[in-house]
A and B are shown apart, each in its own frame.
Chain A
Amino acid sequence: MSAVRRNILKNIDVRDQYIKGVKLLKKEASGRTTDEFGIPGAARSVSTYDLFVIWHVTAMMVETPPGNPAQRNSAHRGPVFAPWHRVMLMLFEQNLQRVLEDANFGLPYWDWADDGDLPAQQQSAAAIWRADCMGGEGNPVSTGPFAFHASDPSGFRVRISTNISGELRSVNRGLRRAFGVSTDALPRTAHVAKALALPAYDAPDWDAGTNCFRNCVEGWMNDEGVSETWLHNRVHVWIGGEMLLASSPNDPIFFLNHCNIDRLWESWLGQNGRAYVPDMTAGAALKGHRIDDPISSPLGRSATPRETLDVSGIYEYDALA
C-alpha cells in the first residue's frame, strides 16, 4: 500500500502530524556531530532533521561536473533537479513515518498557486501562515509551532546555516521569514497550467536558459522562455529569510513547497509518458544528470533518475494539477 500525499490545508490531521513529525526529527539526535561535517566551532550534536539541511547544502556545493559553465550542481540548475528532490523527499517521508509510527503517512503539499491567485496584499495572511499551521513571518518567527522562544532552548531553533561563501556554520537562533520583500506575489494557477503544457522536460544546452518544463518549474524562466524568477524559485524568494539560503530546509515550509513541485512533476510525467532526458548517450559534461547516473544520495547506484520516474508503489497524490 502506498502513502497518499495530501493538501495540508484540507487535512487537519495530516497537518498536525506533519508538525509533530518535524518536531520529533528536530529533537532526535542523529549520532553525528557538527565537526564531522567540517562545521567550525565546538562540536555539537546534529539532529536527524538537520541532516537534511546539511544534505541540501552539500548537494548545492558539488558541481556536476566541476567548473561547468552552466553552474549545474548535483541537485539544481540541471535535469536532475526533479529526481534529486524526489529522492530527498522520499527519505524525509520515511523518517516522518518512522518517528510518527505510521508507515502510511504521506508528506503533505502546499498548493501555493491557490494563494497566488489571491490579491498580492492578502497572500501574507493566507491560511498556511496561521498560528495553527506554519506560523507567520518575522525575525525571528514568533507565531505558530516553529516560533522562537528565547527562554526555551529546547524549542524550534535553527542550528546549522550557511555563510556568504556557502559554507556550513553553527548558529543558534529563531527561524526567519520576510514575505514579499524581493518579489511581491506567489505564482498563480495560470502559471502552473502553462508550465505543465510545455512538451520538453529539458533540452540542450541543459542550462538555465532553455525553454522547458524543468527550467519553468525550477524557476529560472517563465513560461514564455524569458529569464525570470518563477514557480519553485519564486516561492523561495517570496517567503524570504531562511528560504533564500542553501540551508533552506531549515524552514519546514521547504518540504511542503517541494512536495508541491514534485506533484507538478508527477502531473507532467503522467501527461508525457514518464519521459526524462538526457539519456546515457549524452556526454560526460552531463554526468550526474543522465537517466542512469546515480543521484547524489545515500542510496548509491540504486537511485537514478530512471528509478524515480514511477514511484506509484511508494506514494501517490490525492489530486494532480
Chain B
Amino acid sequence: METKKLATGAAPRKLGEYLSRTREKTRMHAVHGAGGAQSVREDSYRGHAIEIITTYNILVDGKKIRAPLGVDASGQVHCHSLPNYQTASAVDMVRALVDGFPEEFEQKPARAKSRPPASRKSRPVPARKSRPAAKKGSKHEH
C-alpha cells in the first residue's frame, strides 16, 4: 500500500466525503432491518431444495422493538445493533438488547391513580416468566 495514498485517504475531508456517499446504502439496510428483518437459509438434501425464511416480531413490555435480528445456517442468532454477540436463542439476544440499550426500555413512571389501590387479593397474578434470568458468568452463547 502506498503511503501517499494512505495519507490522502486519511484526510478528514476525504473520509467525510466517503461516508456521506455511503450513507444511502446504510439507509437502505436500516429500512430492511426495521422491525421485520428476514433471514433466508437455503440447503439441498437428497435432491430437495430447502428454503427457510425467518422473520422476528419481538415485543417487549407489549411494544414492538425494531432490532434487525437474523439467524445463520447453524441457527445462531445475530443482531447488527450488538455486533459482538451471537446467541443460541432470540430470547438471549433480546435480553442482551435490554442490557445494551437501557434508554429504549426505560419504564415510564406510572400515573397517579385517583382511586385507592386494589386490595392484594384482587390484584392480577403476575405473568409467569418462561425461565429465570441468566446469571452472571453463565455460558455466554452470544
With A163-B104, A246-B83 known to touch, is A69 a contact of B6 (CB < 8 Å)? Answer: no
Interface footprint category on A: 35 or more
Contact B23 A95 (CB under 8 A): no
**Interface assignment of B61: CB less than 8 Å from any CB of chain A:** no
Identity of the chain A residue whose Cβ is nearest the Cβ of B137 in the assembled complex? A184
A303 touches B1 (CB 8 A): yes
Let me know if A298 and B9 touch, CB within 8 A: yes
Do A246 and B73 form a contact, CB below 8 Å, given A62-B22, A184-B136?
Answer: no
Q: Please name all residues of chain B whose beta carbon is closer than 8 Å to the beta carbon of A38 when the two chains form the complex.
A: 23, 26-27
B101 nearest CB neighbor, chain A only: A164
Q: Could you say which residues of chain B place their CB within 8 Å of the CB of A167?
A: 30
Question: Contact between A91 and B10 (Cβ–Cβ < 8 Å)?
Answer: yes
In the bound complex, CA of A166 to CA of B101 (Å): 11
B110 within 8 A of A: no
Q: A166-B30, A246-B83 are in contact. Are A71 and B1 (CB under 8 A)?
A: no
- Assess whether A209 is in contact with B73, with CB atoms less than 8 Å apart: yes
Q: Which residues of B contact A227 (CB under 8 A)?
A: 74, 76, 86, 88, 141
Residues of A with C-beta under 8 A to B40: 67, 69
Q: Which residue of A lies closest to B82 (CB)?
A: A244
How does the 8 Å CB contact mask read for B18-41 relative to A, with 1 for contact and 0 for none? Answer: 111011011101101111000111
Complex partner residue of A76 from B42, B66, B83, CB under 8 angstroms: B83
Minimum CB–CB distance from B31 to chain A (whole Å) comes to 10
Q: Is the CB of A183 within 8 A of B2?
A: no
* 1/0 contact string of B117-128 vs chain A (CB within 8 Å): 000000000000
A54 in complex: contacting residue of B19, B140, B141, CB < 8 Å: B19
Question: Which of B6, B16, B34, B141 interacts with A91 by CB under 8 Å?
Answer: B6
Chain A residues in the interface with B (C-beta under 8 A): 28, 30-32, 36-38, 46, 48, 51-52, 54-55, 57-58, 60-63, 66-67, 69-71, 73, 76-77, 90-92, 94-95, 98, 162-167, 180-184, 205, 207-209, 219-220, 227-229, 232-233, 236-237, 243-246, 248, 296-300, 302-303, 307-308, 311, 313-314
What are 14 A-B pairs at a CB distance below 8 A?
A46-B16, A48-B12, A61-B26, A62-B22, A91-B10, A164-B81, A165-B35, A165-B67, A166-B80, A182-B96, A209-B72, A228-B139, A233-B142, A245-B83
